[in-house]
C-alpha cells in the first residue's frame, strides 16, 4: 500500500481533458513539492512535472500540475493516443525521511 494514493485507472477520448489525483498527508504533499512521471511499458519513467507545477523541458503545455493542501493533481488536456501510459506522483515524506511514490495510474485513451 503506497503512502500516496492514486486512482488505479483513468480514461478519456482523444481531445478530452483528464485529471489524475494524488492524495497524501501533512507529512508529505502538504509540506514538500510534488513531481509527476510518465512511464511507457518496458521503459524508464520520464519526468513531466516538478516542483508541483513546473513542466520539465520538452513537455507540452497540455500537461499541468497543481497542488492544494494534502492533494496534488495532474491534468492532461487535448488527450492524444500517445498519452496512454502509467503516471506516478512522488513527494518527500518527513515521517519516513524518504521519497514516496503513488501507486500509479494507468491512463487509457479510448
List of residues contacting other proteins (CB under 8 A): 2, 33, 35, 37, 39, 44-47, 50-51, 56, 86, 88, 90, 96-104
Cβ-based nearer residue to other proteins, 23 or 103? 103
Cβ-based nearer residue to other proteins, 17 or 99? 99
Cβ-based nearer residue to other proteins, 1 or 13? 1
Smallest distance from other proteins to CB 66, Å: 17
Smallest distance from other proteins to CB 69, Å: 21
Q: Which three cell numbers stand for residue 68?
A: 492544494
Helices (H) and strands (E) in the chain, counts: 0, 10
Question: What sections of 1-110 are H helices per DSSP?
Answer: none
Amino acid at each position: 500500500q503506497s503512502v500516496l494514493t492514486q486512482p488505479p485507472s483513468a480514461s478519456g477520448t482523444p481531445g478530452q481533458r483528464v485529471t489524475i489525483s494524488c492524495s497524501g498527508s501533512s507529512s508529505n504533499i502538504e509540506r514538500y513539492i510534488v513531481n509527476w512521471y510518465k512511464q511507457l511499458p518496458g521503459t524508464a519513467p520520464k519526468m513531466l512535472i516538478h516542483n508541483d507545477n513546473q513542466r520539465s523541458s520538452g513537455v507540452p503545455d497540455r500537461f499541468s500540475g497543481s497542488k492544494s493542501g494534502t492533494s496534488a493533481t495532474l491534468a492532461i488536456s487535448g488527450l492524444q493516443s500517445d498519452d496512454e501510459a502509467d503516471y506516478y506522483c512522488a513527494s518527500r515524506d518527513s515521517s519516513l525521511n524518504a521519497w514516496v511514490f503513488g501507486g500509479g495510474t494507468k491512463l487509457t485513451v479510448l
